[in-house]
Amino acid sequence: MRPLCASCLLREREPIVVVEAYQRVLECAGESLASLHDALTAVDYQVFCIGRFGIEPIRHWSDAPDNSDWVGIPRSKAHLASRISKWIWRVGTRPFVAGFNPLSRLGGG
């Protein structure tokens, strides 16, 4: 069995990835928002910024806040972006009441 590098894994398995995109932390590792964005787009991922009410595309790394959470979606699964955004909207707009907020069904409430 051959070891998989991160970019090989992303290309071959095409998982949806969620990453913390914090400029200061990336700089400590010798990286940047630009290099993170470039790494994801190089393996044919679309990059989105996660907000309270959904996800918004990040077409260029400079469009993203210095500290945010990103979701990377393979272009082959681009249709899932609207589903992810709707789910985040449902969670963000409902009080955390058992049976009402989707997260409360996951055992967190």
pLDDT in tens, 46-71: 999 999 899 999 999 999 998 999 99
**Confidence (pLDDT) at 101:** 61
**Confidence (pLDDT) at 7:** 87
**Confidence (pLDDT) at 109:** 46
Tokens matching residue 91: 């969670």
CA distance 89 to 9: 30
Residue ranges of the chain whose pLDDT lies below 50: 108-109
Residue 34 DSSP label: H
CA distance 97 to 85: 21
CA distance 13 to 45: 12
pTM of the model: 0.82
